[in-house]
Chain A
């Protein structure tokens, strides 16, 4: 689910970078305001735990084993914003140190897994985490977090123009659903084991969250759901959209992008690059503004 570099087309990875940067900055500012640096070692150690946990095999069937991704578990134990921050750090380390996921694609991977994935995983827990249906809520959260991040990744790849025949897409979605179920099973098993080991641990680490986070979580689930539906129903349709919007990269940079060209430069690449840059700055500005607006609403 970590997308490497050179899979996404430039407009796609660049806009996701432009979206993720202010989002992460907002998360970090929020974390920095609520808790002084005192909680940082805990977040770091929990991140290291998730890394290590991803190595443990969970036997699930004929010779196969599943592994924990950890977004929902972190959301359950730390709360959604710190969990998203920790996942972001994990994804960054995975990209740089382990080449698991690209550097330019960091924005996409962070968006899919650390933001949408964590928020989608948090949503059921927020509503039913303290009721009798707690176990189901945690299972659902883990399931949604994997489905959301995987569907978004698939959608992004398709929009970028990666050729994928329909059977492959359906197979991928089926595999995602299986991973999501496994994540649910592992997450709930681990949470129950922790509670049995030390009941105090789970109570201590669960804070409550504001309305903006809930709203964003709903958005994340919808986005993931939309991505899923789009991918499964009309894969060719997505690719069409991709080409029409000029998002898809075909062999040799294609005409659609020239529509956005700025006329100052000789070289067409520089021309497109500056057009892209202008577009990026615009998206970045919008996201930054939206982020600040949300921040002001929350502190009001």
Chain B
């Protein structure tokens, strides 16, 4: 599964992995904003941005081909609109749309591929994201794997009991709803179990996070360098 790969990538050890998540998030935002505001005819800017991205991927030690492949998940959407725009006469816009959306997806992959999600969430929290939201996201991510595996098992079980599809559509619909109901109930009771485990370890009603992020000089250098380069290229 996709998130499992990303999780593995984020456990590497490169200069990019070692940067504080806040620096990486801010650099990503600069990249995305620069990209978003680049006019459709600025091919050189786009080219330089793409090169910078590839350099980043190589420095991070991430598998280049694999990452570029995964970034294609955005293509169905952008190609559709690209084709529509092209046919409506706005050709430059169509091309730019596809290029930019692809580069954006790749940039996000680079950052998330070099930062574990808990670290990313810590960074966001320190940058002002609401605490409750970050905690909920943290729990979603923790149980995402577990519960999706349960869902997969249910799908397999249902598939192996498949009869002739034409005659059982309503039954299969009901069965899928039933499967979700079971998944819901199990999830609800799982939350109950988690609550007990929290109480047993003297939970006070408020999560105390370790959050040991430290913004170092090297992080500042990285951020300033990346931002300056990107803005200069754009303003060019």
Q: Say if the two chains contact directly (CB < 8 Å).
A: yes
Q: Which residues of A contact B (CB under 8 A)?
A: 4-7, 10, 13, 24-25, 28-29, 31-32, 36-38, 40-49, 51-53, 55-61, 68, 77, 85-86, 88-90, 92-93, 95-100, 102-104, 162-165, 168, 185-186, 189-190, 192-194, 196-198, 201, 250-253, 267, 269-270, 273
Contact check: which of B28, B29, B97, B109 meets A6 at CB < 8 Å?
B97
Q: Distance (Å) between the CB of A10 and the closest chain B CB?
A: 6
Fill in one digit per residue for B118-155: 1 if any A CB lies within 8 Å of its CB, else 0.
Answer: 00100000000011110111111111101110111011
Q: Report yes or no: A99 in contact with B71, Cβ–Cβ below 8 A.
A: yes
Closest Cβ–Cβ distance, residue B32 to chain A (whole Å): 5
Q: Is the CB of B41 within 8 A of A252?
A: yes
A196→B184 CA distance, assembly (Å): 12
Which of B28, B35, B155, B187 touches A48 (beta carbons < 8 Å)? B187
Check A163–B84 contact: CB distance below 8 A: yes
Residues of B within 8 A of A165 (CB): 84, 87-88
In chain B between 138 and 187, which residues have their CB closer than 8 angstroms to a CB of chain A? 138-144, 146-148, 150-152, 154-155, 165, 169, 172-174, 176-185, 187
Q: Are B39 and A251 in contact (CB under 8 A)?
A: yes
Chain A residues near B169: list those with CB within 8 A: 59-61
Kindly identify which residue among B71, B180, B205 contacts A56, using a CB–CB cutoff of 8 Å.
Answer: B180
Main secondary structure of the interface of B (DSSP, over half): helix
B185 CB contact (under 8 Å) in A43, A53, A198: A198
Kindly provide the distance from the CB of A77 to the nearest chain B CB, expressed in whole angstroms.
8
Q: Contact string, B224-236, partner A, CB cutoff 8 A, digits 1/0? A: 0000000000110
Given contacts A45-B187, A168-B84, contact A28 B108 (CB under 8 A): no
In the complex, A99 Cα to B58 Cα: how many Å? 20
Is B27 interfacial (CB-CB < 8 Å)? no
B100 contacts chain A at the CB level, 8 A cutoff:
yes
Is B214's beta carbon under 8 Å from chain A? no
User: In the complex where A6-B35, A55-B151, A162-B81 touch, is A44 in contact with B138 (Cβ < 8 A)?
Assistant: yes
Interface digits, B11-32 against A, CB 8 Å rule (1 contact, 0 not)?
A: 0000000000000000011001
Q: Is B101 an interface residue (CB 8 A)?
A: yes
Among the listed B100, B139, B151, which residue makes an inter-chain contact with A47, where contact means beta carbons less than 8 Å apart?
B139
Of chain B, the residue at the smallest CB distance from A98 is B2
A28–B128 alpha-carbon span in the complex (Å): 12
Task: Give Cα A266–Cα B159 distance, bound, in whole angstroms.
Answer: 64
Which residue in chain A gives the minimum CB-CB distance to B2?
A98
Extra inter-chain contacts (8) besides given A36-B206, A162-B85, A165-B87, CB under 8 Å: A5-B100, A44-B143, A47-B139, A92-B137, A97-B3, A103-B104, A190-B177, A201-B184
A89 lies within 8 A of B176 (CB): no
Complex-state Cα separation, A96 to B147, whole angstroms: 20
CB distance from A247 to the nearest CB of B (A): 14
Are B183 and A52 in contact (CB-based, < 8 A)?
yes
A5-B100, A6-B35, A193-B180 are contacts. A251–B85 as well, Cβ < 8 Å?
Answer: no
